[in-house]
A = this chain, B = another copy of it.
Amino acid sequence: MIRITIVGLGLIGTSLGMALRSADASESPLGPVEVFGFDRDQRVMKEARGRLAIDRESRTLAEAVRDSNIVVVATPVQAVREVFGQLASLLPAGAVVTDVASTKAEVGAWAASLLPSGIAYVGGHPMAGKEQAGPGAADPDLFKGAVYCLTTSRSTPQPALDAVEALVRTVGAKPYYIDPEEHDAYVAGISHLPLLLSVGLMTITSRSPAWKEMAPLAATGFRDVSRLASGDPAMHRDIMLTNRQGLTRWINDMVGLLLDVREQLEAGDEAAVEDLLRRAKAERDAWLEMKPNMRPGEDAFLNRPEVERPNLLTFRLPNRKR
Contact = CB atoms under 8 A, between A and B. Distances in A.
Contact of A277 (B233, B301, B302): B233
B203 A283 contact: yes
Contacts of A186: 210, 213-214, 217
A48 interface: no
Contacts of A185: 210
Interface stretch (A2-10, A53-61, A156-164, A253-261): A253-261
Interface stretch (A15-23, A39-47, A285-293): A285-293
Given A266-B244, A266-B248, A280-B199, A214 B190 contact: yes
Given A189-B205, A194-B222, A222-B194, A268 B241 contact: yes
A26 interface: no
Copies in the complex: 2
Contacts of A187: 217
A221 interface: yes
A229 B281 contact: yes
A215 B290 contact: yes
Interface in A264-304: 265-266, 268, 270, 273-274, 276-281, 283-285, 287-288, 290-291, 294, 301-302
A133 to B, nearest CB: 10
A123 to B, nearest CB: 14
Contacts of A229: 277, 280-281, 283-284
Interface size grouping (class) on chain A: 35 or more
Contacts of A241: 265, 268, 270, 273
A231 interface: yes
Contact of A290 (B216, B222, B268): B216
Nearest to A262: B251
Contacts of A191: 217-219, 221-222
Contacts of A277: 199, 229, 231, 233, 236-237
B230 A217 contact: no
Interface in A186-244: 186-187, 189-191, 193-206, 208, 210, 213-231, 233-234, 236-237, 240-241, 244
Contact of A226 (B178, B194, B250): B194
